[in-house]
Amino acid sequence: MENKDLLNIAKEYGSPVYVYDSATIISQYNRLTSAFKGVKKLKLNYAVKALSNIAILKLMNALGSGLDTVSVQEVQLGLEAGFAPEDIIFTPNGVSMEEIEKVAALGAQINIDNLSILEQFGSKHPNTPVCIRINPHVMAGGNSNISVGHIDSKFGISIHQIPHLLRIVENTGMHVNGIHMHTGSDILDIEVFLYASEILFETAKNFKDLEFIDFGSGFKVPYKEGDIETNIEELGKKLTKRFNDFCKETGKDLTLSFEPGKFLVSQAGFFVARVNVVKQTTSTVFASIDSGFNHLIRPMFYNSYHEIFNLTNPKGKERFYSVVGYICETDTFGNNRRIAEISEGDLLCFRNAGAYCFTMASNYNSRYRPAEVLWHDGQALLIRKRETFEDLIRNQVDVTIKLPESNKELVKKS
């Protein structure tokens, strides 16, 4: 996909618009599978919450991926996209017993992350195989919001509670077929990841019917030049050897699973928006685009960096800009960015707009959520229409509001 293709897409479908390049998703998928080609049974379960458009899910299905889901609705989307229920794993946090039972009835693999539900579910459904999410208490990455394996995290069952966990499994006679960890969204240090894996291997020895070990995700992709990226190839080499040794030692023929979101889709995504106003102030030049954190919240929410370039005037002289949105809040996309000279009407493009961008979009300020386009095989496929006013009022219930007489008097007087 080239810049001219993005320009044509914006021309045809308007702005702002999300565009996903299938070639990038396919090559990331192949990169991960080839890093682990030495594992006999490898299963990738794409994390739906990163980008949940059904066309993307269908692409994942065609690649041979399974799905990692966090709500019954994501499970339903997966089924809608053609996945077999057994290729879907449900890894929620803090959901009700009813929701877990609903997903179990649909036939997806259940993953439980607290002792309370484990005991309830095991007592009621001892024959339904269950995976258990362990918290190995390992900090992978630096930001405490996205490192979920550490001691204060709400995710997973603490390794210090393994004795209690084993008692529940024994008392209920439930069938544990998998164990899982997901240490967060920033694997910078492979050694830290391997250290957490050792804890998982140690835990795995407790379960005689184990079929798979799920190492979660958190593979880091570069957002700007010089960013550290997870060295997948090195991780593949080291973990493959350790995993195969573990299978040999324990005489088990296990599946190794991962649930990547960002790694597969982040770099495939581009967000294109139009500049409404170029505004000079005493301290900076603002470029205001026809979007805001209602469409792309990551910069304001996580302080994430998304590279921004000028699609319309890529060769222009570079100047400094603060790129901001059009909603009535501070919604800065990037401060003090060097961008080829911007004129009103230009189209700006954001990189790394595949993961956690559209899926976090809202209707704040009563704006429509953008269209989504998949670039596949040299063709632009519209995969989600831009919303319309109909969408904003679809679920609103029209009622008649009458004021009491006393208020009417007041209104008249004033």
Residue 125 vs 262, nearer CB to ligand PLP: 262
Cα–Cα distances in angstroms (integers) from residue 226 to residues 221, 340, 401, in the given order: 11, 20, 58
Q: How far apart are CA 269 and CA 318, in angstroms?
A: 24
From candidates 10, 32, 35, 50, binder to ligand PLP by CB under 6 A: 50
355 binds ligand PLP (CB under 6 A): yes
Q: Rounded to the nearest whole angstrom, what is the least distance from the CB of residue 140 to ligand PLP in the complex?
A: 11
From candidates 211, 259, 331, 372, binder to ligand PLP by CB under 6 A: 259
Question: Angle at Cα 185 formed by Cα 325 and Cα 332, nearest 5°?
Answer: 10
Element (H, E) at 277: strand 269-280
Q: Which of 395, 371, 352 is nearest to 291 (CA)?
A: 371
Residue 50 vs 374, nearer CB to ligand PLP: 50
31 binds ligand PLP (CB under 6 A): no
Residue 32 vs 104, nearer CB to ligand PLP: 32
Q: How far apart are CA 276 and CA 347, in angstroms?
A: 10
The rounded Cα 380 to chain-centroid distance in angstroms is 23
Q: How far apart are CA 305 and CA 221, in angstroms?
A: 12
# residues near ligand PLP by CB under 6 A? 18
From candidates 263, 293, 350, 375, binder to ligand PLP by CB under 6 A: 263
Q: How far apart are CA 315 and CA 201, in angstroms?
A: 53
Secondary structure of the chain: what % helix, strand, coil (to 5)? Answer: 35, 25, 40
Stretch binding ligand PLP (CB under 6 A), from 46-54, 226-234, 330-338, 369-377: 46-54
Stretch binding ligand PLP (CB under 6 A), from 35-43, 236-244, 257-265, 360-368: 257-265
**What is the token pair recorded at 186?**
């920033």
Q: Rounded to the nearest whole angstrom, what is the least distance from the CB of residue 94 to ligand PLP in the complex?
A: 12
Q: How far apart are CA 345 and CA 28, in angstroms?
A: 34
47 binds ligand PLP (CB under 6 A): yes
Dihedral sign of CA atoms 65, 66, 70, 72 in order: positive
Dihedral sign of CA atoms 188, 191, 193, 195 in order: negative
DSSP state letter for 129: -
From candidates 31, 43, 49, 58, binder to ligand PLP by CB under 6 A: 49
Stretch binding ligand PLP (CB under 6 A), from 35-43, 211-219, 221-229, 399-407: 211-219
SS3 23: helix
185 binds ligand PLP (CB under 6 A): yes
262 binds ligand PLP (CB under 6 A): yes
103 binds ligand PLP (CB under 6 A): no
From candidates 66, 141, 260, 325, binder to ligand PLP by CB under 6 A: 260
Residue whose pair of structure tokens reads 């008249």 in the numeric block = 412
Residue 51 vs 247, nearer CB to ligand PLP: 51
Helix segments in 41-91, DSSP class H: 54-63, 72-80
Q: Rounded to the nearest whole angstrom, what is the least distance from the CB of residue 215 to ligand PLP in the complex?
A: 10
Site string for ligand PLP, 216-255 (x = CB under 6 A): xxxx------------------------------------
Catalytic residues: 328
Q: Rounded to the nearest whole angstrom, what is the least distance from the CB of residue 185 to ligand PLP in the complex?
A: 4
Residue 50 vs 254, nearer CB to ligand PLP: 50
74 binds ligand PLP (CB under 6 A): no
Q: Rounded to the nearest whole angstrom, what is the least distance from the CB of residue 338 to ligand PLP in the complex?
A: 28
257 binds ligand PLP (CB under 6 A): no
SS3 130: strand
DSSP state letter for 219: B
Q: Which position's Cβ is nearest ligand PLP?
A: 261
What's the residue count for the chain?
Answer: 414
SS3 9: helix
Dihedral sign of CA atoms 202, 203, 209, 214 in order: negative
178 binds ligand PLP (CB under 6 A): no
Q: Rounded to the nearest whole angstrom, what is the least distance from the CB of residue 146 to ligand PLP in the complex?
A: 8
Where do contacts with ligand PLP occur on this chain (CB under 6 A)?
Answer: 47, 49-50, 68, 70, 91, 182, 185, 216-219, 259-263, 355
